[in-house]
Amino acid sequence: MIQSVQRAAQILAVLGSGTPRLGVTEIADRTGLAKPTVHGLLRTLEAHELVAQDPDTGKYSLGPGVLQLGNAYLDGSDLRARSLRWAESLAQRAGEAVWVATLSGSRVIVLHHVFRPDNTVQILEVGAAIPWHACALGHAIVAVLPEAQQARALAAELAPLTGRTKTTRSALTRALAQVRQRGYAVEDQEATVGDAGIAAPILARDGVVAGAIGVVGAADRLLNQRSMEELVRAVQEAARFYAKLYKMGFEIEFLDVGGGLGVDYDGSRSAFDSSTNYTLQEYANDIVYYVADVCNAERVPHPNLISESGRAVVAHHSVLIVEVFGAIEKIRTGDYLQFGENEHPLVRELLDIKKNMPKLNKLEAYHDALERKEDAQHMFTLGMMDLPEKAKIEHLYWEISQAAVDSFRGQAYVPEEIRKLEDSLGDQYLCNFSVFQSLLDHWALGQLFPIVPVSRLNERPTREATLVDITCDSDGQVNKFIDLRDVRDTLPLHPLIVNGSGSLEPYYLGFFLMGAYQDIMGDLHNLFGRVNEVHVFLDPDEAAGYYVEEIIEGTTIVQALDSVQYDDKELKRLMKAQVDEAIKSDRMKPSEAMRLLDDYERGLKEYTYLSF
């Protein structure tokens, strides 16, 4: 090592250790260097603005040059650049601040900080250094380090920051193992009393950990199990109603706890609308525990519990396979558009922008192209431009837009309009299905389903697209997709391939977690089927002023079941076999069994909706 550089680095490290200003003697004591040496190095560092001297006290602090170097480091950080979008989306979704950090020695350094989106006064923490063992970001990173690096991190002397900080090797080893098991780290007031964090590691393409991204905020907000607590409160209230009614003389035997069991559609295990932050076992445990707790306190019998959790029980049994039969692309490849010398002035201007794009400010070039496109739209509407000219302008606009988007890839800051432009550049894939028949909940409720290509799984998708159905309806599309950290506006897909005969090779998408409920919605709307239909005609000659021409009966239960391959004769046979077995085992009297069988067979012929 070069001794003078090493000593200068020591001085900078001391000045950056937390004490605002230090004198020459203090710096010499902390670095172990002679005062003349320290003084000489400080003068050199001051000349480069890496340190600054207070004219009143004569003490030194870090200078503005360090800030410039730090900003240059941040601007060049690939980790920070690639996580900017996710960090902002995560902050909006979680309603909390988000940090992106990397490991430096025994500390994590905050590279990016997105403020909590509530307009409160907050302090920017970029550059903050936190001991790795005292924060979720550090746990998330160290948990996936190679064993040798983990061992060195655990062997170091680890000081507590609060009464909750884990400092022993055994406690930290258990914590890191838990991070590897569930994929994220949780910290509860280990760095600062009252604050907590939840973080996950960020891995580079080679699988090596590059850093971590995490949500930070008040512990009482961040670690609040909202979904489960709401469920518990609802169950306690329902159980209390049951107990009070039982005491009033209504000997209720069954308690329906409703359909609170959700499905983790997006895999995030969170309180997000398309996810659940509890397991099936936790759901069952809490339902049984809190109902029993209330009943024991009220001294009433425990009821039989019923759950209407059909969607969660059968969600995984069904997948809808959809074929893609075409694509609408913003930018078409090939030379189908020919440009000559006598082009429309707007076309010539756009050609000039495209030609000089490498030398132009990309955002300004995009704004200029957008202005030309809007001018062309007005001219075309007024009949002052032909269709071929408008097509050329549209094509050039999208090419310039794509170049503008590409220029911002990997940048530390990407303007919001460029992000929206990137989404609008996505293709539209034409799919052979109806959103209203097969994906009704997505259209009506915004329900998200996992959608992935099931063709060419050995290839990386290179296109971004939305899905359009064949209903010729503007609502017949899917433009919101599941992503682990956010909701995507486009879906990564493969480019469609045209074979030698000029036709598209088959390309299929899978819509997963459809379940029996979603599966039947597209056919008979929850197996209710067609309603009764009455044709009424107005007629002044009739005493009532109208007459009923025709009554068309709605779907019966047996008809609805037949449409999903349930045979009524087989159902009756199976029911009779169960009834016979009940008679043989003395669980039912023959007269009761025959009445039950008659009611069952009569019910199959009845209307699917309620009859009053």
Q: Does residue 17 sit within a domain?
A: yes
Same domain, residue pair 215 and 125: yes
Per-residue pLDDT at 455 = 93
| Separation CA 256–CA 291 (nearest Å) | 11
- Residue 536, domain extent: 530-612
Same domain, residue pair 250 and 274: yes
Q: Does residue 70 sit within a domain?
A: no
Same domain, residue pair 438 and 291: no
Q: Does residue 337 sit within a domain?
A: no
| Separation CA 607–CA 612 (nearest Å) | 11
Count of structural domains, the chain = 6
Same domain, residue pair 89 and 169: yes
Boundary residue ending a domain (155, 188, 222): 222
DSSP assignment of 44-98 equals: HHHHTTSEEE-TTT--EEE-HHHHHHHHHHHHH-HHHHHHHHHHHHHHHHHTSEE
Phi, psi of 551 (to 5 degrees): -120, 120
Domain of 24, CATH number, reads 1.10.10.10
Residues forming a β-bridge with 488: 481
Same domain, residue pair 293 and 409: no
Question: Does residue 200 contact residue 160 with C-beta atoms inside 8 Å?
Answer: no
Domain of 129, CATH number, reads 3.30.450.40
The tens digit of pLDDT for each residue in 464-517 reads 899 988 776 667 889 888 876 567 888 999 999 888 888 889 999 999 988 755
51-53/320-328 β-pairing: unpaired
354 SS3 class: helix
Same domain, residue pair 206 and 83: yes
Residues of the chain with pLDDT under 50: none
Q: Does residue 338 sit within a domain?
A: no
Q: Does residue 392 sit within a domain?
A: yes
Per-residue pLDDT at 218 = 82
Entry pTM = 0.54
Q: Does residue 340 sit within a domain?
A: no
Domain of 456, CATH number, reads 2.40.37.10
Question: Does residue 389 contact residue 377 with C-beta atoms inside 8 Å?
Answer: no
Q: Does residue 336 sit within a domain?
A: no
Six-digit token string for 585: 């085992």
Six-digit token string for 144: 């996936």
Six-digit token string for 525: 């709307």
Boundary residue ending a domain (524, 559, 582): 524
Same domain, residue pair 101 and 216: yes
Among 194, 433, 468, 206, which residue's Cα sits nearest to residue 322? Answer: 433
- Distances 307 to 159, 265, 289, 292, 331 between C-alpha atoms, Å: 50, 20, 15, 16, 52
510 SS3 class: strand
Same domain, residue pair 541 and 599: yes
DSSP assignment of 259-300 equals: S-----SSS--SSSTT--SS-HHHHHHHHHHHHHHHHHHHT-
Same domain, residue pair 358 and 300: no
Boundary residue ending a domain (367, 391, 423): 423
Same domain, residue pair 477 and 430: yes
Same domain, residue pair 324 and 470: yes
| Separation CA 579–CA 581 (nearest Å) | 5
Same domain, residue pair 158 and 200: yes
Q: Does residue 71 sit within a domain?
A: no
Per-residue pLDDT at 404 = 86
